[in-house]
Amino acid sequence: GLFLLPVSLSLEVSVGKATTIYAVNGTEILLPCTFSSCFGFEDLRFWWSYNSSDTFRTLIEGIVKNDKSDPKLKLKDDDRITLVGTTKEKRNNISILLRDLEFSDSGKYTCRVRNPKEKDFEHQATIILQVVDKLEKVDNTVTLIILSVVGGVIGLLVFILLLKKFIAFILKKTREKKKECLVSSSGNDNTENGLPGSKAEEKPPTKV
């Protein structure tokens, strides 16, 4: 556990949740990358590399002096690339903007970071870019139908549950009312009405 603790607190690099992003030919795309470290950083090195089936090259390379300094570029291989990184508000952002996209730009883009405070261990994260003619619209009809059916079933179950509770409440009140009537009826004095079961007035015996 003590051996794994430094690893769990070490530098982390992220390019977001999406492993593959799509962009239209001729447009621009932001390739995100952020980093964080519980140990802090100083003279942190970072670079972006591009890798396809037949090509590998370093796109940019830079350094971040400390958490109060913005990233500075030392090398840029392509004029279409702009570093949009910042360390303000502890964002530690070293993302790049790639303009005037071409189909040949499709491939793997890897963001690499090396922190001297962590014995120069290298950390990286990769995102895949696919340059296309046009973005296809996703047909959400089936998804909407499923959500509507599920929502309707849940709504029906809730209605049935509420109706059941309402009926139980009405029946309970009805029973209580009948019980009150029976108690009230058995307590009445029926001697004056001559009803069966009533007590007759006893007359004193006639004296001879």
**Local confidence pLDDT in tens for the 208 residues of the chain:** 434 444 445 778 999 888 999 999 999 999 999 998 887 888 999 999 999 888 899 999 999 998 888 899 998 988 999 999 887 777 889 999 999 999 999 999 999 999 988 887 889 999 999 999 988 775 567 777 888 888 888 988 888 888 888 898 888 888 877 776 666 655 555 444 444 544 445 556 655 5
Residues 109 and 43 reside in one and the same domain: yes
Residues 104 and 164 reside in one and the same domain: no
Torsion of CA 157, 160, 162, 166, to 10 degrees: -170
Euclidean distance between CA atoms 72 and 137, whole angstroms: 39
Q: Which pLDDT belongs to residue 172?
A: 83
Euclidean distance between CA atoms 188 and 185, whole angstroms: 6
Q: Which pLDDT belongs to residue 85?
A: 83
The verdict on residue 202 lying in a domain is no
Residues 16 and 88 reside in one and the same domain: yes
Rounded to 5 degrees, what are φ and ψ at 22?
Answer: -120, 145
107 neighbors 129 (Cβ within 8 angstroms): yes
Residues 149 and 51 reside in one and the same domain: no
Q: Which pLDDT belongs to residue 4?
A: 41
Q: Which pLDDT belongs to residue 24?
A: 96
The verdict on residue 125 lying in a domain is yes
What is the extent of the structural domain holding 147?
137-174
Euclidean distance between CA atoms 150 and 7, whole angstroms: 44
Q: In this structure, which amino acid lies at residue 160?
A: I
Residues 95 and 169 reside in one and the same domain: no
Residues 144 and 87 reside in one and the same domain: no
Residues 58 and 26 reside in one and the same domain: yes
Q: Which pLDDT belongs to residue 203?
A: 56
CATH number at residue 25: 2.60.40.10
Strand pairing of 122-132 and 20-24? parallel
Residues 111 and 158 reside in one and the same domain: no
Euclidean distance between CA atoms 18 and 106, whole angstroms: 15
Residues 142 and 60 reside in one and the same domain: no
Total structural domains within the chain = 2
